[in-house]
């Protein structure tokens, strides 16, 4: 398995883990809403239901965000060889290594660290369309692109 494929699979696992967590949260909320019985303190009951509804709405937004990230990942063609930084590129610089995909944090492959970042992040915005040898300045730090694939 090559580096790009390993990074891609790590991002897929990151998304799957988040999806499972959010689905479990939604299920717990549904169960709580169904098991909530009308107590003698009506206001307390209504407040509890309202809080659960808000939690369900929040989980729904998280689910929508995960679906967006899945969609972005499915756009990546692992066979494509990049000469300029684009979605799906692995970018090695004199400072750090990046995988332009989704924001999934640091991933270590063969004892080398890569940061899985969204194309919308400030650092990715600076890297996009750049090529080997280009210099990038981010937060007053200057670094060079040494490899793009």
What is the residue extent of each domain of the chain?
3-75, 90-148
pLDDT(98) > 60: yes
- Specify the pLDDT at position 142: 95
Mean pLDDT over 35-58 rounds to: 75
- When pLDDT is cut at 50, 70 and 90, the band that residue 48 belongs to is confident
Q: Which contiguous run of DSSP H or E holds residue 57?
A: helix 42-75
pLDDT(40) > 60: no
Total-model pTM: 0.86
Pairing mode, if any, of strands 90-93 and 141-148?
antiparallel
Query: In whole angstroms, what is the distance from residue 131 CA to residue 11 CA?
Result: 24
pLDDT(136) > 80: yes
Query: In whole angstroms, what is the distance from residue 10 CA to residue 58 CA?
Result: 25
Query: In whole angstroms, what is the distance from residue 121 CA to residue 139 CA?
Result: 13
Give the residue carrying structure tokens 């990715």: 124
């Amino acid at each position: 398995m090559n580096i790009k494929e390993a990074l891609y699979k790590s991002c897929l696992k990151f998304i799957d883990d988040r999806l499972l967590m959010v689905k479990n949260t939604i299920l717990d909320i549904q169960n709580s809403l169904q098991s909530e019985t009308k107590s003698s303190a009506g206001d307390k009951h209504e407040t509890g239901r309202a809080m659960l509804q808000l939690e369900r709405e929040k989980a729904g937004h998280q689910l929508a965000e995960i679906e967006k990230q899945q969609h972005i990942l499915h756009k990546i063609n692992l066979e494509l060889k990049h000469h300029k930084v684009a979605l799906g590129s692995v970018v090695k610089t004199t400072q750090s290594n990046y995988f332009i995909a989704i924001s999934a944090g640091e991933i270590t492959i063969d004892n080398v660290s890569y940061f899985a970042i969204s194309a919308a992040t400030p650092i990715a915005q600076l890297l996009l369309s750049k090529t080997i040898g280009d210099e990038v300045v981010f937060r007053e730090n200057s670094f060079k692109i040494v490899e793009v694939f």
